[in-house]
Amino acid sequence: MTQQCGEIIRLCRAERSYFSGDARVKALDDVDLTITAGSTLAIMGASGSGKSTLLNVIGCLDRLTSGRYLLNGVDVSTLDDNDISTLRLNSFGFIFQSFHLIPQLNVLENIELPLYYAGVPGGAARERAKDLAATMGLEQRWFHRPSQLSGGQQQRVAIARALANDPDILLADEPTGNLDSATGWQILAVLYDLAAGGKTLIMVTHDQQIAAQMEHHLYMRDGAVLRAQVAQERQ
């Protein structure tokens, strides 16, 4: 596609404020950011520095209070809720720290969920879910509930679900935060593989070692970008 080397995400003077009573908290404060298609970005910073907020804004889960967010050149603020939902469905894959699987649904059903919302017929959705489960090494766990799985397995289900509609951009908010380091590295290996396969990967992490594998780095403090760093190897 044309965006392969072009910019896919652009934030201009992005601001997101929360109001709690009279106090106004700027979770994002004057953030400028450009992300090219197929690149990888690590967002780092102390707790409460606005990393998750930034990721949510990028993933269209949250809206800016001021500033502009262009996704593929389209100003997201002009879209209605239905269009935004469609973007989340087709363009973004979310991976959360606490997995966020639906407890009543089994592995396949969880993976099928985005497919159903996209209107994929039942049989085709089931096939695709099985394929995805297989690539994530979950062949034996089709009908397990999330509560019957280990943390690593749950995160694999979440990744499979994120990949269901083959999105261009993967957003991971501390994906290994709830996992032991060995399992964490396995999950990261999966994510790096996907990035190598051409997906844009944006990941929030505390870990320098993890971030070292990513091309671009963004350090945040109090909602503002402290330092942006571009990795050497691809320059």
Ligand X SMILES: Nc1ncnc2c1ncn2[C@@H]1O[C@H](COP(=O)(O)OP(=O)(O)O)[C@@H](O)[C@H]1O
Per rule CB under 5 A, is residue 176 in the interface with Mg ion?
no
Long-range contacts of 223-227 (CB under 8 A, 24+ apart): 223/16, 223/26, 223/27, 223/28, 223/29, 223/31, 223/49, 223/50, 223/53, 224/29, 224/30, 224/31, 224/50, 225/31, 225/32, 225/33, 226/45
Does 53 bind ligand X (CB under 6 A)? Our answer is yes
Segment lying near ligand X (by CB under 6 A), choices 17-25, 82-90, 208-216, 224-232: 17-25
Phi, psi of 193 (to 5 degrees): -60, -45
Rounded-to-integer distance, Cα 132 and Cα 115, Å: 12
| Closest to 173 (Cα-Cα) out of 213, 215, 201, 198 | 201
Q: Rounded to 5 degrees, what angle do the CA atoms 202, 14, 68 make?
A: 100
Which uninterrupted H or E stretch holds 158?
Answer: helix 151-163
Q: Does 155 bind ligand X (CB under 6 A)?
A: no
Question: What is the contact mask toward ligand X in residues 68 to 107, using x (rule: CB under 6 A)?
Answer: ----------------------------------------
* Residue 48 interaction partner, one of another protein, ligand X, Mg ion, none, beta carbon < 5-8 Å per kind: ligand X
Q: Which of 47, 104, 147, 235 binds ligand X (CB under 6 A)?
A: 47
Closer residue to another protein, CB minimum distance, 105 or 224: 105
Q: Quick check: 107 and 137 in contact, CB under 8 A?
A: no
Q: Does 20 bind ligand X (CB under 6 A)?
A: yes
Smallest distance from another protein to CB 133, Å:
17
Which one-letter DSSP state was computed for residue 141? G
Q: From Mg ion, ligand X, another protein, none, which one binds at residue 153 (CB under 5 to 8 Å depending on kind)?
A: none
Asked whether position 25 contacts ligand X by CB under 6 A, the answer is yes
The site for Mg ion (CB under 5 A) is made up of 52
The residues binding another protein (CB under 8 A) are 56, 59, 61-62, 81-82, 85-90, 92, 94, 96, 100-105, 113-114, 116-119, 121-122, 161, 165
